[in-house]
Structure 1
Amino acid sequence: MMDGAAEFEAERGHLMAVAHRMLGSRSEAEDAVQETWLRYAKALADPADRAQIRELRGWLTTTCSRICLDVLRSARVRREAYPGQWLPEPVVTDVPVADGFAPDPAERAVRADQLGTALLVVLERLAPEQRVAFVLHDVFAVPFATIADVLNTTPAAARQLASRARRAVTGPDVPRHTADLAEQQRVLSAFVAAAESGELDRLVQVLAPDVVVIGDSGGHFPAARQPVVGAEAAARFILGLFRQAARYYNGPLRARPVLIDGVLGWQAETVFRDGRPYRMITSFAVHDGRVTGVFNQVNPEKVAHLSGLGADDVWPPRW
C-alpha cells in the first residue's frame, strides 16, 4: 500500500490537470482526484482487481474521467441555478521570470495543455460526454478506444463526440487566444493604459470587434448578469468600472501579474465599501494584437484559496 500511495502521488498532478479541465472547478477536481485514490486503494487491496491495472496512468486517468463524467452530469443542474454568469475556479501560478516574456518554443511546448479561461468557459456549453471526449483526446491524447470505455460507447461514437466538441470550441463566437506571453504582456499593458486614460476610442482600439467581457461574483458583489459583447459596449462597460472604483472600494488597490490557467492576467485585491475583502482574478484572451476576452472572477468562494498580496504589489500591475 505504501508503494501504491507513492505511485499515486506521482500521478496526482496529471490527474488534477485532467479533472480541472473537465470540471472547471478546483474544489470539484480535488474531490474527483481523492475519489480516484480511494478506488485505487480499494483495487490494491484485492489481488484480482490489482491484476487488472496493467498501466497505472491509463487506469487512473480512466477512473478519474468516469468520476468527472458523473460530476458533470449533476453539475449541469447546479449551473442552471447559479446566480449570474459562471466562470471556472482559477488555477493561479507565478509568471515565469527566468526568460521574462520571451516567446521561447520550449515555453510554448510546456504550455501546450494550458487551456486558458476562454476555452474553459466554452467547454461549459458542451454535453458532458462531448467534454470528456474532447479533453481526453485533444488535450491529453488518450486513444478513442480508451475514451469509448470511459463513456461506455464505441470508438467511432467517441470520435464523433470529440469532433462535435472541436467544432463547438472553434466556432466563430469563441474568443480566440493565440498570443505568446510576450504579446500578451504588450497587449495587456496597452489595455491598462487605455482603461486608466478614460478615453473610449483608445480602449476600443485595444479590443477585438467581437470581444466579450464576463464577470462571476456568485451573487456576492455587483456584476453584469449577461456577457458584454462588442468593442464599444465592452469599452464603455470597462471604463464605467474604472470610474466607479472609488464608489465601490474602500482601500488601496493592489495587484500583481499572474498566470491564470496558463494565460497572463492579474490578481488584485482591495476592500469593498462594506468592509469585506474584495479579491479579483482577471484573465484575458489575446489574438492578433487585441483582447478578445476579459474574464473577471470575484466570487469569494472561488478565490478563497489564493494567498494575499503584499505591500510591493501595487496597481497597475508591474509587467
Structure 2
Amino acid sequence: MTTPSEPTPDGPDPGLSAIMSERRQLINLAYRLLGSLADAEDVVQETYTRWYAMTRQQQDAIEVPGAWLTTVASRICLDLLGSARTRRESYVGEWIPEPLPDPTEWITGRSGDPVDRVTLDESITMAFLVVLDSMTPAERVALVLHDVFRYSFAEVAEIVGRTPGACRQLASSARRRIRASQAPATPASTARQSGIVRDFKQAWEAKDIDALIGLLDPDATAIIDGGGLVSAGRHPIEGSEQIARYILALAGRAPDLTILERTVNGQPGLVAQQNAVTVTVTAFDVEDGRIKRIWAVRNPEKLRPWTAAATPTSR
C-alpha cells in the first residue's frame, strides 16, 4: 500500500507539499464531525490512502486536489456517523466527545502531533460538540461544512449527495437544535469563567459542599464518561446538591488526587491527576455566573492526548 510519505510508482510527487498542506484542514474538519481525535486521524489517513491509490494521471486530472480531499474525508465521516449510532448502543454509560488540551500545553516530542493542528475556536467547545452529536449525520455535515468551514451550499450538496436546497434546510434544522440547547442566559467571559472554575477547584480540594453548591446552578447537569473502563455514573446527575455530593464522594475515594487548571477545548477546565497520570478531564458551561453543565471524561482511551501533556505545577 502506498502511503502519503512514499513516492507514487510514477516517480517523486512534485505536488506532495501542497497535498500534505491540506492535512491541518482535514484534521479540523474530521474532529468536529466525529468528536474524536483518534477517529479523525484514521479518516485523514484513509483519505490520503485513497489519493495515493490513484495513478499519477488520475491525480493530475483533479483540478483542485484540496477540494477532492475534503470531499472524500467528509464522505468517510458521513459513513462513520451513520454507523456511530449503532456503536453507541453498546457503549457503556454516557458518551462525551474526546477532550483536547491547549496546543501550548502539548509536548511535541513527535513531529506533527494532530492536536497541534486543531484550531481552537467556538466550534470546538465541548458545549458545541455535544449539540453536534445530537444531530443527524447529514445535519452535522451540512452545518460544519457551511457554517464553520464556509463551503457554499452548492459545494456541500456535491459532497453529501443532496440538492443545495436540501442542504440549506439541513443546516437550518441544525441551527435550530443549537438555539434550543442554549438557555436565554448571558455567557461568561473567559476571564469570568476561569475565575468560577478556579473557585470550583478550590471548593473541590477543600471538600466544601456549600461552596460547591453555591457555584452550581440549581438545575445543573453533570455527565461523566467512563466508557465502562473506569467507575462513572451511567446517567446524567441532576441538581447542584447531587452533583456536589458526587464530587466529594470521588474526592473521598482518591485523596491523593491533584487538580490542575487547564484549557479544555479552548475554554477553562480542570484536569485531575493521580500519580502524575491524567484520570479525568472536565469541561464546564457557565451561564449567569454559575456552572450550568459539567462534562467529565474518565474513559482512558479518550485521554490519550493528555498523556503527552506537560505536568506543570498546579496553578
Query: Would you say same fold, with TM above 0.5?
Result: yes
Report what 1:266 is aligned to: 270
Write the distance in 2 (CA, Å) between the matches of 1:23 and 1:261: 14
What is the CA-CA distance between 1:151 and the residue it aligns to? 1.3
Whether the 8 Å CA contact 2:101–2:305 is kept in 1: the answer is no
Q: Note if 1:51 corresponds to 2:61.
A: yes
Distance 1:232 1:173, change over 3 A: farther
Q: Percent identity?
A: 38
Whether the 8 Å CA contact 2:93–2:228 is kept in 1: the answer is yes
Q: Secondary structure of 1:84's partner?
A: coil
Q: For residue 298 of structure 1, what is the amino acid of its counterpart? A: R
Report what 1:229 is aligned to: 238
Distance 1:172 1:120, change over 3 A: closer
Q: Paired residue for 1:84, among 90, 93, 97?
A: 93
Whether the 8 Å CA contact 2:223–2:295 is kept in 1: the answer is yes
Q: Paired residue for 2:131, among 119, 122, 131?
A: 122
Compare 221-230 and 171-180 and name the one that shifted more: 171-180
Q: Secondary structure of 1:2's partner?
A: coil
Whether the 8 Å CA contact 1:191–1:203 is kept in 2: the answer is yes
Whether the 8 Å CA contact 1:94–1:258 is kept in 2: the answer is no
Distance 1:280 1:3, change over 3 A: farther
In the superposition, the TM-score normalised over structure 2's length comes to: 0.82
Summarize deviations over 1:105-138 as a string: whole Å, max 9, x none: xxxxx85344211221222211111111111112
Unpaired segments ≥5 residues, structure 1 = 97-109, 247-251
The ranges of structure 1 where at least 4 consecutive aligned residues each deviate by more than 6 angstroms after the TM superposition are 173-177
Report what 2:313 is aligned to: 313
Whether the 8 Å CA contact 2:261–2:271 is kept in 1: the answer is yes
Whether the 8 Å CA contact 2:94–2:223 is kept in 1: the answer is yes
Unpaired segments ≥5 residues, structure 2 = 1-11, 106-118
Q: For residue 156 of structure 1, what is the amino acid of its counterpart? A: G
Summarize deviations over 1:265-294 as a string: whole Å, max 9, x none: 13322159xxxx662111212233222221
Write the distance in 2 (CA, Å) between the matches of 1:120 and 1:161: 17
Report what 1:193 is aligned to: 202
Q: Paired residue for 2:50, among 32, 36, 39?
A: 39
Q: Secondary structure of 1:3's partner?
A: coil
Q: For residue 75 of structure 2, what is the amino acid of its counterpart? A: R
Q: Paired residue for 2:220, among 208, 211, 236?
A: 211
Write the distance in 2 (CA, Å) between the matches of 1:120 and 1:186: 23
Q: For residue 214 of structure 1, what is the amino acid of its counterpart? A: I
Write the distance in 1 (CA, Å) between the matches of 2:264 and 2:184: 16
Report what 1:60 is aligned to: 69
Write the distance in 1 (CA, Å) between the matches of 2:57 and 2:248: 64
